[in-house]
Structure 1
Amino acid sequence: MAEYSWDSFRQAFLGLLALIVNLFGLAGPFWLVTFFVMSVYQVFYRYAWATLIFPADKGFLLVPADTANGKGAGIAIIAIFGFLKVQWMGSWLTALFITYFRDRQWRSVQDGRLIVQASGFSADDVSEWHPNHRPRLCPRCERESSDRVYHCVVTDRCLPIYDHFCSWLMVSVYSRTMKSYLYTILFLPLDTVGTFVVLMVQLCSPGGKFHWPFAVTVLFTCTALVVGAALFAPKQWKHLVMRNEVMLEWRRPRKPILLGFKDARDSRRPLTLYKLFEGNPWDRGTKDNICQALGSSWWMWFFFWWQPERVSKYGRYPPSVDLPFSRKVWDVRLEVLGLAVNFEGGRDAIAQHLHRRGQGFSSSHEEDPSVTARRRAAHSG
């Protein structure tokens, strides 16, 4: 009986948690704005300003409010929480603006590259692909797609390095919004943890009152901690930053990625071969992956609006690739093209040999010119 009661309680709790998460996700922007307004009012004004810096009565934890410690604590709270709020709110607004007002007419790079992603085609079908075009076709808009370009169903656009549409933040997560999205889910949980601690201290202080702004702020804080910190942030940072892979590339079961290798040394007949690549061809190690996602220099990481170079250089990386590949991919290219060149060289040698034999056969059976002249004279006589 006890086991049945525990299972029932657990199922009911999980169902309630799922309902809260769904309701929270549907009203994500509302909760974000509510938390921002209420936490600014409760933490900045009522606690830091009115209690610590310019108190009306007693100060922080029975310490006289007019001391330098109280004023210093209030200024520190405003500075720290101001930084956190500017980071996540600015990042979120930036991602919102980009999602709905940028890249609306973005198109994939159409011309060929030395290495191209050919996922969606079998090794038998891609042999008919022209080397100066792309062997990927979007199944929804039926356009040629360059490397790591996937379709966003919500905005109905093909986007580079697209991961998913976040219904909680109402933004499309792709190359141009990825840094802002990552900073939002990083600094928002930090802000909620700090806000929760400050509000608990305020509640335990003499004269602390539990009124409705405090209740709404604490409710959002707990929900944001469960949804943002525990469920999404660590996983997203691991895949998007540390491993440089989007959802369609890492979801299980992971499928090998078909890559096309082009050898353009013979402009009249470019050679293109294909090979299935196990793993992530764009994983260049943790350090380079971080620079790809946040910026090439460490000082760029502190500014959420500073886009990494892969946003502006997409499709224009040397030597003629859309995005930087790992060292292993270039080694595979040398191996594949090396075997292909040996095969082509052997085939050309056989063709030249047959051509020489054909010339010898025709010359050995060619008539002597004097015999031909005598035959013509006899025929005319």
Structure 2
Amino acid sequence: MAFMDLFLGFLAWVQGPGFTRLAIAIECFYWTLPVLIVFTFFVNTWMILDVLYVRILLSDGVVNFLPVWGSRDMLLARVALSVYGFLLLNAAGSISYCWYLANFAAKKYRMPSGSVAPPPRTVMQTTFSTSLRFDFADLGMDGNRPNRCPEECVNAGAWRGDRMYHCRHGYNRCLPVFDHYCYWLWVPVYLNTIKPYCLFMPHMFLYSLYCLVVMVWALISPHMRGLSQFTAVVIFLSSIFAFLAAGGMMRYQWRAVVFRNRVGKERDDTWHWSMAIRKPNGQLVYDEPTANPYSLGSPWANAQEVLGRWYQMPFWFWEPERVGQYGHHLNLDNDTTISPAYMIRVKDIRLRYMDMAEDLTYVPDLPPLPPPPAPPSPPPRSFFRRRHNASSMV
């Protein structure tokens, strides 16, 4: 009974002022998480160097005048130190690259000229509200795009390219292939940052797990004495980051963004896409596909689209081809890669309207009309003289 009273009291506190306090605490944790990440990198490096370099490599295998570490242990320590350097380089490098792009590329992003220059593409993204405009069909003939930012930003009033969505949090501009703003890492997840952002998750997971294993081994080893008190802090932080990376962020982001080529702005209650197809006469027709028009059909094909070719995937600094091709796509049918299955649907729709146009302009072959009859010849002059008794004599 006492437990239930405490539980009900806790729920009442959460629904009342505790909810605000909890929200503030969560918000503060979000905004301090990048600081904790940097702190973890420094503390982990200090502890790893203390265990592997100072206590093993610099000891020459002797502890308290007794031989402890053999040549094999020295070799393993060097290998373990090299592995740590590799994991640190990828984890710290990928998130640092995200922060660089977030502060120097995203805040200055402008739509490429190729994405807004006439003529419009064969397939373009639009919105349902835009499709209700009375002049929607003629937008393609005017050289405009059927996709305009509804927010007050630097792109306000201007037509924007495909898969461009508004980012409010400190940017106030439209970004291509924008998924969401990550409060955890202070990064807008969009076209340029998707790859290093997604690669940071497995790198951080492996890095945290590796540090956790090394620290646990150092604690239970009989030859490691007098370790720093920061050891417990390192183990705790490593466990938290490993859990967060594996349990939530990595699983969801990789499944949706990498393997299915979806972004969060294309979802409300369900996934939906609004497309505008340019008919042969230049007018637009509205279409709502039931499947993702940007998915290439298989997880591997989508992963190559998002992360690059197989030899580019492990390198967080090697941007995929779609980053440079956005707005300047080679086939000029769209701003970014469209699903081959959806392009078949687009061709069918265009052919349907082409056949309808041919039916409206069809005129059957008719026999030529006969020539008009010749006008009658005027009567002779004598006819008028006889009728009026007139004479030509004076």
Same fold (TM over 0.5): yes
Distance 1:121 1:356, change over 3 A: farther
Asked if 1:37 corresponds to 2:42, the answer is yes
Residues 53 and 65, structure 1, Cα contact 8 Å, conserved in 2: no
TM superposition shift of 1:372: 11
In structure 1, C-alpha distance between the alignment counterparts of 2:337 and 2:145, rounded to whole Å = 17
Asked if 1:347 corresponds to 2:360, the answer is yes
Overall identity of the aligned pairs, in %: 21
In structure 2, C-alpha distance between the alignment counterparts of 1:50 and 1:8, rounded to whole Å = 54
Residues 162 and 246, structure 1, Cα contact 8 Å, conserved in 2: yes
Asked if 1:291 corresponds to 2:304, the answer is yes
**Counterparts of 1:247-258 in structure 2 under 5 Å?**
247-249=264-266, 251-258=267-274
Cα root mean square deviation, aligned:
3.2
Aligned residue type for 1:236? Q
Quote the residue 1:139 is aligned against: 150
Aligned residue type for 2:204? L
Quote the residue 1:54 is aligned against: 58
Aligned equivalent of 1:304, options 300, 316, 322: 316
Quote the residue 2:168 is aligned against: 153
* Gap regions ≥5 residues in structure 1: 375-381
TM superposition shift of 1:64: 4.6
Q: How many residue pairs align between the two structures?
A: 356
**Counterparts of 1:55-204 in structure 2 under 5 Å?**
55=59, 64-103=67-106, 104-107=108-111, 109-110=115-116, 111=118, 112-121=120-129, 123-125=131-133, 126-131=136-141, 132-140=143-151, 141-154=156-169, 155-204=171-220
Residues 139 and 283, structure 2, Cα contact 8 Å, conserved in 1: no
Aligned residue type for 1:87? N
Aligned residue type for 1:189? F
Aligned equivalent of 2:342, options 329, 336, 349: 329
* Gap regions ≥5 residues in structure 2: 380-394
TM superposition shift of 1:122: 5.5
TM superposition shift of 1:271: 4.3
Bigger drift between 138-147 and 302-311 goes to: 138-147
Q: Secondary structure at the match of 2:292?
A: coil
Residues 196 and 221, structure 1, Cα contact 8 Å, conserved in 2: yes
In structure 2, C-alpha distance between the alignment counterparts of 1:199 and 1:139, rounded to whole Å = 52
Q: For residues 61-103 of structure 1, give each alpha carbon's deviation from its aligned partner in whole angstroms, at most 9, with x where no partner exists.
A: xx95441221122112111111111001111111111111125
Bigger Cα Rg = 2
Quote the residue 1:26 is aligned against: 31
Asked if 1:319 corresponds to 2:331, the answer is yes
Quote the residue 2:384 is aligned against: none
Aligned residue type for 1:35? T
TM-score norm. by structure 1 comes to 0.82
Distance 1:373 1:275, change over 3 A: farther
Q: For residues 261-301 of structure 1, give each alpha carbon's deviation from its aligned partner in whole angstroms, at most 9, with x where no partner exists.
A: 2244xxxx4243222111211110212211111112x2112
Distance 1:8 1:237, change over 3 A: farther
TM superposition shift of 1:369: 6.9
Residues 21 and 227, structure 1, Cα contact 8 Å, conserved in 2: no
Residues 173 and 181, structure 1, Cα contact 8 Å, conserved in 2: yes
Q: Secondary structure at the match of 1:260?
A: strand
Distance 1:280 1:5, change over 3 A: farther
Distance 1:9 1:299, change over 3 A: farther
Distance 1:208 1:7, change over 3 A: farther
Q: Secondary structure at the match of 2:288?
A: strand
Asked if 1:246 corresponds to 2:277, the answer is no
In structure 2, C-alpha distance between the alignment counterparts of 1:88 and 1:307, rounded to whole Å = 17
Residues 279 and 353, structure 2, Cα contact 8 Å, conserved in 1: no
Q: For residues 148-172 of structure 1, give each alpha carbon's deviation from its aligned partner in whole angstroms, at most 9, with x where no partner exists.
A: 1111112112111111111222111
In structure 2, C-alpha distance between the alignment counterparts of 1:328 and 1:129, rounded to whole Å = 26
Residues 98 and 177, structure 1, Cα contact 8 Å, conserved in 2: yes
Quote the residue 1:370 is aligned against: 375
Residues 51 and 65, structure 1, Cα contact 8 Å, conserved in 2: no
